[in-house]
Amino acid sequence: MSRTVFSMAIEIVTVIFEVIIISVYFNAFLQVKHRKKTLAGTIVYIAATCMIAAVSLFFPDPLILISVTSSAMFLIGTRFEGPLRTKLLFIILFDAFIVIVDFVTIYVLYLLNGLTFIDTTETVLYRILGIIVSKLLVFLLVKQTYLWRKRVIGKLPFSSSLILSILPISSIIVIFQLVVNSQLNHASSDSSIIVLIEVVSLFASNIAVFGIFEQQMEAQNERERMRITEQQILHQTAYYKDMVEQQGEVREIRHDLKNCLSSLASYLRVNDFQQVAEYSKKIDKMADSLKMQVNTGYQALDIIFWGKVRLAEHCGVNFSYSLFMPEDMRVDEMDLCIILANALDNAIEACKKIEEPGRRKISLVLKTEGDYISIYIENSTGKKVIVPEGGLVKTTKEDAKNHGFGLQSIKNLAEKYNGDMAVSSDEQIFMLSVLLKNA
C-alpha cells in the first residue's frame, strides 16, 4: 500500500467518523424522527459520507469542503425533528467549530515541527495528523455535550467526564506515534495496513466506550426516574388517604353538628340562653375544625402540606410557615410536593429526637425571587449536624435503605429545574435552602 493510498484510507476513516459526530451533534439537541433503523436513513448516512469523502480526496479546497460538509449536514438533519432555521443555525455553529478546531490543531503542529505554516498544511504527514487529532477532539467535545444534554436528572459527574476525556486524548497520542513512525520509517504495505487497522480500532474503541457509558447513564437515569415515580405515587397515596380521613372527619362533625343544632333548638324553645351560648361556641369550634389552614391554590399541595402541619403539631413541634406561591407556577405540583414532604419529614424526624418539647421548632418560607421559587427551612436539632462535602447528610433512620434518598431526591429535582440545593448547620439548627427555576 503506497503512502498516498494510506493517507486516502485514513481520510475515508475520518470522514466516516465525522458523519458519526454530526449525527451525535444533532441528536444532542433534536429528536430523531424515526427511532427504528430504516433503509432511507441508511441511504442518507451513506450519501453524506460519500459527499464529504469525495471532496476530501479530490477537491480539498477549504471553501468547497465546508460547503459540501454543510450540505451533508443538512441531509443528515432531515432525519431529525425541528424547524429549518434551527437546523441551519446548528450547521453554521458546527462549521465554525470545525474550522476553529482544525486551525488550532494545524497551528499547534506548526509550532511543534519547525516548518512554515504553509508547509505544515501541505505536508501529508501533518495533514493526516491534523485530520485525526481534530476529529477526535471534536468527537470528545460533541460527546460530552450530548451526555450533558441527554442526562435526565442530576449533573454529569466530573469523574465520569474526566475518565471519558482520557480515552480520546490518549488515542490522539497513540495515533500520533503510529502515523509518524509509519511515515518517517517508510513502512511497507503490510505495515501500513496494520497501522490503518490500529487507527480504525482506536476510533471504534472511542465510539464503543462512549456508547457503553451512555447505556449505563440511561440505566442510572431510569432508576432515578423510577425512584421519583415511586415517591410521587407515595405522596399521591398520602394525598388520597388524607382526603378520605378528612371526609370521615367531616361526616363525624356533620353528625355532631346535627345533634348540637337539635339541642340548640330545644334550649331556644325554653329560653335557656346560657346553654344556647355554650352550644354556639361548640358549633364555632366545629366550623373551625373544618377549615384547612393552608390555601396555596393547589389542592394536592394544600392537603399534603396540611398533613405535615398536623403531624408536626402531633409531635409537639412549633411549626411556623409563610407561603407565597407564584401566580403562574411552571414547576410540577407533585415535584414540589416531593420536595416539601421530604424536607418536612426530615425536619419533623429531627425535632422528635429533642427531649425538651419547647425546643422543637420548624420554620418554612416559600416565596418567589425573580424567575425562581425559593424554599428555606430551618429546624432545631438535638446536636450539631455535620454536613459532608456535597451536602447530603446521612440518614439516621432505621430503614436507611428506603429513607436515605430524601435530600438526594430534593437535590435531583432542584437540578431538574436548573436550580440548586444547599444545606448548612449551626450549633443546634439545621438549614435547608432550595431554588427552583419557575420558567
Indicate the pLDDT class of residue 401, thresholds 50, 70 and 90. very low
- CB-based burial label for 76 (10 Å; 0-12, 13-18, 19+): buried
Phi, psi (rounded to 5 degrees) for 381: -135, 160
Residue 156 included in any domain: yes
Indicate the pLDDT class of residue 434, thresholds 50, 70 and 90. very high
Whether residues 220 and 312 share a domain: the answer is: no
Per-position DSSP letters for 335-388, written without gaps between them: HHHHHHHHHHHHHHHHHHT-SSGGG-EEEEEEEEETTEEEEEEEEE-SSPPP--
- Contact between 33 and 79 (Cβ < 8 Å): yes
Indicate the pLDDT class of residue 2, thresholds 50, 70 and 90. very low
pLDDT for res 153: 46
pLDDT for res 241: 63
Whether residues 49 and 195 share a domain: the answer is: yes
> What's the CATH number where 329 sits?
3.30.565.10
**Last residue in a domain, options 184, 208, 230:** 230
pLDDT for res 400: 38
Residue 271 included in any domain: no
pLDDT for res 381: 87
Residue 273 included in any domain: no
Whether residues 298 and 225 share a domain: the answer is: no
pLDDT for res 36: 62
Whether residues 181 and 310 share a domain: the answer is: no
Where residue 318 falls (left for φ over 0; alpha for ψ -120 to 50; beta otherwise) is: beta
Residue 280 included in any domain: no
**Beta partners for residue 322, in sequence order:** 365
Question: What is the per-residue pLDDT across 384-393, written as a single tens digit (0 to 9) for each?
Answer: 666 655 555 5
Whether residues 210 and 341 share a domain: the answer is: no
The closest alpha carbon to 304, from 248, 242, 362, belongs to: 242
Whether residues 210 and 355 share a domain: the answer is: no
Q: Which one has a higher pLDDT value, 364 or 224?
A: 364
Question: What is the per-residue pLDDT across 91-140, written as a single tens digit (0 to 9) for each?
Answer: 888 888 888 887 777 777 777 766 676 766 666 666 777 777 777 777 77
Whether residues 224 and 306 share a domain: the answer is: no
pLDDT reading at 204 higher than 90: no
For residue 170, give its domain range. 3-230
Highest mean pLDDT out of 27-41, 253-267, 335-349 = 335-349
Residue 192 included in any domain: yes
Whether residues 297 and 226 share a domain: the answer is: no
Residue 195 included in any domain: yes
- Helix H, strand E, coil C: the string for 73-129 is HHHHHCCECCCHHHHHHHHHHHHHHHHHHHHHHHHHHHHHHCCCHHHHHHCHHHHHH
Query: What percent of the chain has pLDDT above 90?
Result: 9
Number of domains in the chain: 2
Amino acid (one-letter) located at 148: W
Question: What is the per-residue pLDDT across 71-100, written as a single tens digit (0 to 9) for each?
Answer: 998 998 888 887 888 888 888 888 888 888
Distance CA 386, CA 391 (A): 9
pLDDT for res 332: 87
Phi, psi (rounded to 5 degrees) for 248: -65, -45
**Last residue in a domain, options 230, 245, 273:** 230
- CB-based burial label for 409 (10 Å; 0-12, 13-18, 19+): buried
The closest alpha carbon to 399, from 344, 337, 436, 349, belongs to: 349
- Contact between 113 and 126 (Cβ < 8 Å): yes
pLDDT reading at 433 higher than 90: yes
Highest mean pLDDT out of 7-21, 225-239, 409-423 = 409-423
Whether residues 107 and 209 share a domain: the answer is: yes
Residue 281 included in any domain: no
Residue 245 included in any domain: no
pLDDT for res 425: 83
pTM: 0.48
